[in-house]
Homo-oligomer: A and B are copies of this chain.
């Protein structure tokens, strides 16, 4: 590929544009699914306060979905077509991590959102300013998950036995996220090139990214009072 990473970060380059559409499509479907899953988990809440707080998180994800869809349309892309390649992997992630109870759904909401946010923020730094700003905006709105941290900390303090089970659950969430990302990576070369900053198949870059993701995941689990 003769294009240097710098010149490729321009939406007038069809190949770069296509990769951005791929990325926004993946994010959009992820947000739509997050909306549906959080809304679906809400009835597991022990009271209306928590149930409404989970619904509020779902609504925030839907607002993100709409921002991403609007941008896809601005780029001349069909959002349905852009999202389609990621349905299997994202549905697969959710199917393999269906929470068994309210605590698992809380940890999933926090940890799953956190992994996705880390990943997209990491990618954003290599992108054109407009796409970068959009991704940072979508990833910034995290105020809603404070209730999760409080609720999990409270439950772990009340019943320390659950900590072990939830630590395992966190590891499973991370493992499934990695597995599904690899599945996508194997099929979407242009996207992976974009994700790695246009540096091609650079094993060091992949290693660094996973090290960052793992470190942040550990910090998040710790903030819940759990081991990673």
- A: residues with CB less than 8 A from B are 32, 35-36, 39-40, 42-43, 47-49, 51-52, 55-56, 58-59, 62, 65-66, 69, 79-80, 83
Contact = CB atoms under 8 A, between A and B. Distances in A.
B65 A52 contact: yes
Q: How many copies does the complex hold?
A: 2
Contacts of A80: 47-49
A129 B39 CA distance: 33
B59 A62 contact: yes
A69 to B, nearest CB: 7
Contact of A52 (B32, B48, B58, B59): B32
A33 to B, nearest CB: 9
Which interface residue of A36, A43, A66, A80 has the most chain B CB atoms within 10 A?
A36
Top 5 A-B residue pairs of the complex, sorted by shortest distance between their CB atoms? A39-B39, A48-B80, A59-B59, A40-B40, A59-B62
Nearest to A48: B80
A210 to B, nearest CB: 31
Nearest to A78: B48
A43 B29 CA distance: 12
A86 B209 CA distance: 50
A125 B62 CA distance: 35
A43 B54 CA distance: 19
Contacts of A59: 59, 62
Contacts of A55: 32, 35-36, 62, 65
A49 B69 CA distance: 10
Which of A49, A55, A69: most chain B Cβ within 10 A? A55
17 contacts: A32-B48, A32-B52, A32-B55, A35-B39, A36-B40, A36-B42, A36-B55, A39-B39, A39-B58, A40-B40, A47-B80, A48-B80, A48-B83, A52-B66, A52-B69, A55-B62, A55-B65
A49 B72 CA distance: 14
Contacts of A43: 36
Contacts of A32: 48, 51-52, 55
A79 B40 contact: no
